Amino acid sequence: MRLKLFIVLFTLILISIPFFPYKQVVAFTFEDREQLLAYLSLEEKESFQIQYTHSIHNSDVTETYRISSNEITQTELAYKDFAVGMPSDAEGNELFIRKGGIYYIKNMKRTFSYIDLRIGQVKANHRLIYEGKTYQLSSDIKPGTWVRITPKKITLWQQLKGVKINDS
């Protein structure tokens, strides 16, 4: 009797393993539903960047983020041109620096539970930068798609269904 109970429990545990959320990622889902489109596998406190070409200035903007288990924190912003949509100074304890023709806002601690982003169809050319490698988001997510970027733990099953960005 004990052996049968052990076998049943062991089987249930084995069956449930693929559905247990354990892997920390930055998840890219459809904005209005939780369907996983792609993910960046990284550990808590690690940083990544989103870089895009500004539609008016035609110059690159780089946003740096760090994740925790339930938040994304923007830590830095870098850009070449002042104009529409770009800050002209830092706030609070942030630092505004100009170096080599690039403006930086450093020491940022702007926290979000998620970030909504529409993958650029024309100019934006959204890129994700992680560990010195650049990944074109439009390679894994259809241009024009409105995505929600969130830190989350995903299951083995979700990993098999989604696209791991830093494997492409």
Per-residue pLDDT of 82-91, as tens digits, reads 777 788 888 8
Which has the closest alpha carbon to 150: 25, 22, 19, 21?
25
Global confidence as pTM: 0.86
Let me know: does 126 contact 52? Beta carbons within 8 Å.
yes
Per-residue pLDDT of 89-145, as tens digits, reads 888 999 999 999 999 999 999 999 999 999 988 778 999 999 999 999 999 899 999
**Gap between the Cα atoms of 92 and 103, Å rounded:** 17
Let me know: does 141 contact 38? Beta carbons within 8 Å.
yes
